[in-house]
Amino acid sequence: MISGKGRAVEREPEQGQAQDPRAVADFVERFAAELVVAGMGRMPSRIFSCLMAEESGVLTSAELSERLQISPAAVSGGMRYLIQVGLVAKEREPGSRRDRYRVLNDVWFESLTRRDELLLRWIRVLKEGEATVGAGTAAGKRLEESAAFFEFMIDELHGMLGRWREHRAVRGREEARGQEKAGGQPEARGQQA
């Protein structure tokens, strides 16, 4: 928006109001860049960011290709990674043979919950490695320390996820009370769109 003096003025959109597509595209690229810095590949980062910014959290391959100006092959490659790490789910479009991709509203919670299985496998292999190289050796101690760290992480992760569930429930109740006061219907938190 341009003010009467010719300066750009940023204005927060009202809740539920459609966003400026250019601003959303800029956000997608900024968030994707942050994910790349954290170690995710560029294409999966852009695809994931685009799904996160989509109101429904669901897009087809063709829609992603068009919005991100990338090839269908790039979408396919990025999706393989995102599905493998559990950040995106693949589903069939009702009444069609086309696939669509969904990011869950509670994607971070689900992703961390699945880390449990991975960490347990690592612990098992590290303990086997410790026995293989010798428990009293420097390598054995390194492997034992790594296994102990991951055991500690699992315990802490369980506590943190429990606290998040409680926090999310409180936020949901507060939101519902606020909407009831405003005369609206409460929105279910953590539900798929």
Please give the single-letter amino acid code of residue 74: A
pLDDT value at 7 more than 50: no
The dihedral over CA atoms of 22, 24, 25, 26, expressed in degrees to the nearest 10, equals 90
pTM as predicted: 0.69
In this predicted structure, the answer to whether residue 13 has a pLDDT above a threshold of 50 is: no
Phi, psi of 2 (to 5 degrees): -105, 130
Question: Which pLDDT band holds residue 66 (cuts at 50, 70, 90)?
Answer: very high
Residue 31 has pLDDT above 50, yes or no: yes
- Please report the pLDDT score of residue 16 as a whole number: 55
pLDDT of residue 18: 59
How much is the pLDDT for 112? 77
- Please give the span between the terminal C-alpha atoms of the chain, in angstroms, as a whole number: 31
Residue 15 banded pLDDT, cuts 50, 70, 90: low
The answer to whether 130 and 140 are in contact (CB under 8 A) is yes
Indicate if the alpha-carbon torsion angle 55, 58, 64, 68 is positive or negative: positive
Q: What residue has token string 């769109």?
A: 193
Please state, in angstroms and rounded to a whole number, the distance separating the CA atoms of residues 60 and 62.
Answer: 5
**103-115 b/e (C-beta count within 10 Å ≥ 16 → b):** bbebbeeeeeeeb
The strands making up 99-102's β-sheet, listed across from edge to edge, are: 58-60, 99-102, 89-92
* Region at 8 (left for phi over 0; alpha for psi -120 to 50; beta for the rest): beta
**Residue 189: what pLDDT?**
45
- Give the pLDDT mean for 46-56: 95
Give pLDDT, residue 96: 83
